[in-house]
């Protein structure tokens, strides 16, 4: 192959199909050939390329491939990460040298002070004997020496700690550098032996898979409360660390597994009926085995109808489809997660307001939408909620089939304030303890359009047969549900205020303290 004329093949990336953790890359280029044998080289190709996935084709008048070879290409210059590590190690080594110099200087000062203290001890003793120094002079000298020694010890200890931390950081950087050098990504070069019978222009196509690619859907749900409409934007967030830049490529997204050269049908999974009698019978069998386990030859045969632990589980309900994003896209290598826009469309939604005056001072808003019936299923992914242009938070959208409803919380409705307070409290202790409580709830619609609010009040529930809770009066009238809740459907015109009052009676034995009552009513 090397004896033929060597030609450089220019084949830019045209299309990328991203899968869950890999991507299939398609390159295409033109090559002008004269009759005879030629040696074409396409380089560099990324180190994350899977050699088994390589597909090469040449299309033209009369040319065919005689040999295809993928060769590693030696790196000719350090990689950016290697340069960063080398610079970091040099800076750490310089700091280490400076710390060693500082510690040596501190050791010299410490030795000098020790010698000075010994010399001063003899001099001070002679001065005191000859009455040339006072006790105050001696005390001042000792205080100075002690203070200076303490300063040196503290500074030396601090510098030694810094030296230890610096040594650990330097060791980690050297290990990272050694690992990077031993595992340096080595790109490939594709070498093609081409036999051309006629002169002309030929098209070369190269397809391969790379790792270091992942994608997931991203949704924005913009609620317009004035129009009672929700706009759903479907985008995609994608990361690619494949080792090559994707410049102005057509991008496709697939939920399938990466195709292989050998197609095979998926394995079957087992179905069974989980009869209660099987579990009931197994419990007796397990107990019998426990009692007879010490008797040789007493093993019982396994129960018929039990499940086979080696059976294949049911597959996940992930839909399989491929979508192509509009236009072309540029995704550089080793860039942070990039968000690409997708489609956006309005969804009819039903707005519901629920008020819980016992814990909230505003009614809560929920938007219920229906997934489009004529579109693909919606995959799980982050969902950012906006209401009238205000960001409210991020949830996670579950998997949604076409036509499936979904309720999205949209926080408190500032235009529906609530007030709740205790109106009266009356207690009679003979012959039974009867506590009567009356509450008032005021709901106001400050919005410019009418709304309907479901207002919920939770009544106390008895945990003792001797305690009875009764709804004596409610205006507007309502009933108590099985979970001890009172509900009102309130229709409010613009600027309208609705007042709700209800009265309950709690009856309990006299002389026994009643626990769990509303703190406001105690």
pLDDT computed for residue 275 by the predictor = 57
Contact 159, 103 (CB under 8 A): yes
Residues 101, 192: one domain? Answer: no
pLDDT computed for residue 76 by the predictor = 52
pLDDT computed for residue 395 by the predictor = 92
Beta-bridge partner residues of 418: 443
Residues 88, 146: one domain? Answer: yes
| Residue scoring higher pLDDT (164 or 458) | 458
Kindly report, residue by residue over 33-57, the tens digit of the pLDDT: 888 899 999 999 999 999 999 999 9
pLDDT computed for residue 2 by the predictor = 57
Residues 462, 447: one domain? Answer: yes
Residues 169, 109: one domain? Answer: yes
Instruction: Give the integer Cα–Cα distance in Å for 141 and 129.
Output: 17
Residues 85, 137: one domain? Answer: yes
**Domain annotation covers residue 383:** no
Instruction: Give the integer Cα–Cα distance in Å for 417 and 441.
Output: 11
Environment class of residue 236 by beta-carbon count within 10 Å: exposed (0-12), middle (13-18) or buried (19+)? buried
Residues 95, 131: one domain? Answer: yes
Domain count, the chain: 3
Query: What mean pLDDT, rounded, does the chain reach?
Result: 83
Asked whether the predicted pLDDT for residue 60 surpasses 70, the reply is: yes
Q: What six digits make up the tokens of 480?
A: 């108590």
Q: Give the total residue count for the chain.
A: 522
The residue among 212, 227, 259 that closes a domain is 212
Residues 67, 117: one domain? Answer: no
pLDDT computed for residue 429 by the predictor = 81
Kindly report, residue by residue over 105-159, the tens digit of the pLDDT: 888 888 887 787 777 766 766 676 666 667 777 677 778 878 888 888 888 888 8
pLDDT computed for residue 391 by the predictor = 94
Residues 87, 61: one domain? Answer: no
pLDDT computed for residue 384 by the predictor = 94
Asked whether the predicted pLDDT for residue 25 surpasses 90, the reply is: yes
pLDDT computed for residue 1 by the predictor = 60
**Domain annotation covers residue 342:** no
**Domain annotation covers residue 255:** no
Kindly report which listed range (18-27, 126-135, 184-193, 413-422) carries the lowest average pLDDT score.
Answer: 126-135
**Domain annotation covers residue 431:** yes
Range of the domain at 487: 414-521
Kindly report, residue by residue over 414-461, the tens digit of the pLDDT: 899 999 999 999 988 878 889 999 999 999 999 888 999 999 999 998
Three-state secondary-structure class, residue 48: coil
The mean pLDDT of 311-322, rounded to a whole number, is: 61
Residues 91, 137: one domain? Answer: yes
Residues 191, 67: one domain? Answer: yes
**Domain annotation covers residue 347:** no
The residue among 158, 178, 198 that closes a domain is 178
Say which CATH number the domain at 424 has: 2.60.40
Kindly report, residue by residue over 242-296, the tens digit of the pLDDT: 989 999 999 999 988 876 656 666 676 667 676 555 444 444 445 434 433 444 4
**Domain annotation covers residue 485:** yes
Residues 165, 85: one domain? Answer: yes
The mean pLDDT of 395-424, rounded to a whole number, is: 92
Q: Looking only at Cα atoms, what is the longest distance across the chain?
A: 118
**Domain annotation covers residue 456:** yes
pLDDT computed for residue 153 by the predictor = 87
Asked whether the predicted pLDDT for residue 75 surpasses 70, the reply is: no
**Domain annotation covers residue 469:** yes
Asked whether the predicted pLDDT for residue 356 surpasses 70, the reply is: yes
Kindly report which listed range (366-370, 381-385, 425-429, 439-443) carries the lowest average pLDDT score.
Answer: 425-429
Asked whether the predicted pLDDT for residue 309 surpasses 70, the reply is: no
Instruction: Give the integer Cα–Cα distance in Å for 378 and 395.
Output: 15
Q: H-helix or E-strand containing 113?
A: helix 80-129
| Whether this model's pTM surpasses 0.75 | no
pLDDT computed for residue 10 by the predictor = 94
Residues 9, 126: one domain? Answer: no
The residue among 125, 152, 178 that closes a domain is 178
């Amino acid at each position: 192959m090397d004896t033929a004329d060597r030609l450089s093949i220019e084949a830019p990336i045209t299309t990328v199909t991203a899968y869950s953790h890999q991507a299939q890359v398609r390159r295409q280029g033109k090559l002008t050939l004269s009759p005879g044998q030629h040696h074409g080289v396409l380089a560099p190709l990324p180190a994350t390329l899977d050699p088994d996935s390589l597909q090469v084709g040449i299309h033209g008048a009369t040319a065919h491939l005689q040999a295809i070879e993928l060769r590693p290409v030696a790196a000719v210059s350090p990689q950016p990460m290697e340069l960063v590590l080398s610079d970091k190690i040099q800076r750490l080594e310089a700091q280490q040298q400076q710390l060693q110099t500082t510690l040596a200087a501190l050791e010299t000062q410490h030795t000098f002070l020790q010698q000075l203290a010994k010399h001063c001890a003899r001099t001070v003793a002679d001065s005191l004997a000859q009455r040339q120094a006072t006790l105050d002079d001696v005390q001042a000298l000792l205080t100075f020496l002690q203070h200076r020694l303490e300063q040196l010890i503290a500074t030396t200890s601090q510098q030694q700690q810094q030296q230890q931390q610096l040594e650990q950081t330097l060791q980690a950087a050297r290990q990272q550098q050694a690992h990077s050098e031993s595992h340096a990504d080595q790109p490939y070069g594709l070498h093609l032996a081409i036999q051309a019978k006629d002169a002309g222009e030929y098209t070369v196509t190269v397809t391969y898979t790379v790792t270091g690619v992942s994608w997931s859907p991203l949704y924005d749900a913009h609620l317009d409360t004035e129009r009672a409409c929700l706009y759903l934007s479907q985008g995609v967030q994608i990361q690619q660390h494949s080792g090559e830049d994707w410049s102005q490529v057509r991008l496709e997204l697939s939920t399938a597994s990466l195709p292989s050269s050998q197609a095979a049908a998926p394995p079957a999974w087992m179905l069974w009926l989980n009869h209660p009698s099987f579990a009931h019978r197994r419990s007796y069998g397990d107990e019998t085995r426990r009692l007879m386990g010490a008797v040789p030859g007493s093993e019982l045969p396994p129960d018929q109808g039990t499940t086979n632990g080696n059976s294949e589980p049911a597959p996940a309900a992930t839909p399989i489809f491929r979508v192509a994003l509009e236009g072309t896209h540029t995704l550089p290598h080793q860039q942070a997660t990039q968000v690409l826009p997708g489609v956006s469309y309005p969804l009819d939604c039903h707005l519901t307001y629920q008020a819980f005056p016992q814990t909230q001072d505003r009614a809560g808003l929920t938007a219920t939408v229906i997934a489009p019936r004529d579109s693909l299923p919606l995959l799980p992914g982050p969902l950012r909620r906006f209401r009238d242009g205000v960001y409210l938070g991020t949830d996670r959208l579950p998997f949604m089939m076409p036509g499936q409803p979904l309720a999205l919380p949209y926080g408190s409705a500032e235009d529906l304030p609530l007030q709740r307070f205790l109106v009266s409290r009356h207690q009679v202790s003979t012959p039974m303890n009867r506590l009567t409580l009356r509450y008032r709830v005021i709901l106001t619609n400050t919005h410019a359009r009418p709304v309907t609010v479901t207002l919920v009040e939770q009544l106390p529930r008895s945990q003792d047969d001797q305690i009875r809770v009764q709804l004596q009066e409610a205006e507007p009238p309502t009933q108590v549900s099985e979970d001890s809740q009172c509900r009102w459907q309130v229709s409010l015109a613009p600027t309208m205020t609705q007042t709700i009052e209800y009265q309950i009676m709690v009856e309990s034995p006299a002389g026994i303290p009643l626990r769990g009552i509303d703190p406001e009513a105690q």
